[in-house]
DNA sequence: AACGCGCCCTGTCCGC
DNA sequence: TGCGGACAGGGCGCGT
């Protein structure tokens, strides 16, 4: 489900709500959503009595930091949701996997129909190692055109697949990969290392631009995505190519095409984004 | 070592 | 209305 803008929106919804509050207890209905070798008993023990210090985002993950230095990383997979129990939408959740009960009587609910989501716990050392596996934040100052060119130059993978690899640039998924490539006028099947310095710079701008705009619109809701209050996003009305096969390119009017790469749809304008 | 693919799981939609 | 197949904002483990 969610990519960087959706996770950012969720994090911004939780940040004013959770810090300062303590988890009294955790109930776990789906222990298969704990990252191995994590066990339910260990999660309950390590989180009980812990006070949230901060809640933010790293790549496509929600990162919570607790008063003893413990960190909890939550990945929402395709259909995961984090909703406060006191939001009206909480009543509609039908696949709640974990409940984090707070000291004020409310609870943070982790719901996930497909159960592709994951919960990780880290101490300082394991977090440093985990953090190092996640790529550059595309909305940070470190994400420069030069850095982008260095990264694309190092791989022959098709650029659409390249963008989905979280170890390089963190937070881009299938929707925003399609949109960023359209903005940069780069065909999705181009080998990453075939991009010129100028194209890599345009793609950097396309990635950063579409993510920033989507954050401003509180994310894209296609089917499942909801924020921490249960509300849908608004960026779906501004997509240029994703899921728009056969519809006119907003730039040139040519019908958008769909192709399958690595068993996932890729959308592009055959006029604006010529192959090779 | 880097890359492509199958698979994890449930829900929804579309054609017959 | 029912049923099978395709498809879905992700990511891991495997084989090559």
Residue A255 annotated in active site:
no
Burial class for A107, CB neighbours closer than 10 Å (0-12, 13-18, 19+): buried
Residue A1: pLDDT above 70? no
**Model pLDDT, residue A223:** 87
**Model pLDDT, residue A73:** 98
Say which of A50, A57, A60, A204 is annotated catalytic: A60
**Model pLDDT, residue A175:** 97
Q: CA(A103)–C1'(C10) in Å?
A: 33
Q: How far is it, in rounded angstroms, from Cα A48 to Cα A51? A: 9
Q: Which of A221, A152, A168, A149 is nearest to A59 (CA)?
A: A168
Q: Quickly state the pLDDT bin for A249 (edges 50, 70, 90).
A: very high
Q: How far is it, in rounded angstroms, from Cα A238 to Cα A66? A: 37
Residue A11: pLDDT above 90? yes
Q: CA(A143)–C1'(B15) in Å?
A: 46
pLDDT digits (tens, 9 = 90+) for A71-120: 999 999 999 999 999 999 999 999 999 999 999 999 999 999 999 999 99
Nucleotide showing the shortest C1' distance to residue A177 CA = C9
Strand B neighbours with CB under 7 A?
Answer: A 32, 79, 94-95, 113-116, 155-158, 161, 192, 223, 261-263
Question: Is strand C within 7 Å of residue A60 (CB)?
Answer: yes
Query: Are residues A261 and A177 in contact, defined by beta-carbon separation less than 8 angstroms?
Result: no
Residue A42 annotated in active site:
no
Q: How far is it, in rounded angstroms, from Cα A98 to Cα A45? A: 14
Q: What is the mean pLDDT of residues A248-259?
A: 97
Query: Are residues A176 and A213 in contact, defined by beta-carbon separation less than 8 angstroms?
Result: no
Residue A264 annotated in active site:
yes
Residue A124: pLDDT above 70? yes
Q: CA(A96)–C1'(C2) in Å?
A: 30
pLDDT digits (tens, 9 = 90+) for A19-71: 999 999 999 999 999 999 999 999 999 999 999 999 999 999 999 999 999 99
Residue A138 annotated in active site:
no
Give the mean pLDDT of chain A: 97
Nucleotide showing the shortest C1' distance to residue A263 CA = B5
Q: CA(A48)–C1'(B12) in Å?
A: 38
């Amino acid at each position: 489900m969610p990519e960087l803008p959706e996770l950012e929106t969720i994090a911004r919804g939780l940040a004013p709500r959770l810090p300062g509050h303590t988890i009294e207890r955790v109930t776990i209905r789906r222990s298969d959503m704990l990252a191995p070798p994590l066990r339910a008993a260990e999660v309950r023990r390590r989180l009980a009595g812990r006070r949230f210090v901060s809640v933010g985002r790293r790549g496509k993950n929600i990162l919570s930091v607790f008063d003893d230095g413990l960190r909890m990383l939550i990945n929402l997979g395709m259909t995961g949701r984090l909703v406060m129990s006191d939001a009206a939408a909480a009543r509609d959740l039908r696949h709640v996997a974990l409940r984090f009960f707070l000291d004020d009587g409310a609870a943070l609910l982790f719901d996930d129909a497909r159960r592709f989501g994951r919960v990780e716990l880290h101490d300082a050392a394991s977090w440093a190692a985990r953090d190092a596996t996640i790529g550059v934040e595309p909305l940070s100052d470190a994400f420069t055109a030069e850095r982008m060119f260095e990264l694309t130059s190092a791989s022959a993978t098709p650029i659409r697949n390249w963008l989905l690899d979280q170890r390089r640039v963190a937070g881009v998924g299938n929707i925003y990969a399609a949109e960023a490539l359209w903005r940069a006028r780069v065909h999705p099947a181009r080998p990453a290392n075939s991009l010129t310095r100028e194209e890599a710079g345009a793609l950097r701008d396309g990635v950063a631009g579409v993510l920033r705009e989507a954050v401003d619109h509180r994310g894209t809701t296609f089917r499942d995505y909801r924020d921490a209050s249960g509300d849908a996003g608004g960026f779906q009305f501004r997509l240029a190519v994703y899921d728009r096969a056969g519809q006119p390119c907003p730039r040139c009017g040519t019908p958008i095409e769909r192709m399958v790469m690595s068993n996932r749809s890729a959308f592009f304008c055959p006029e604006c984004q010529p192959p090779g």
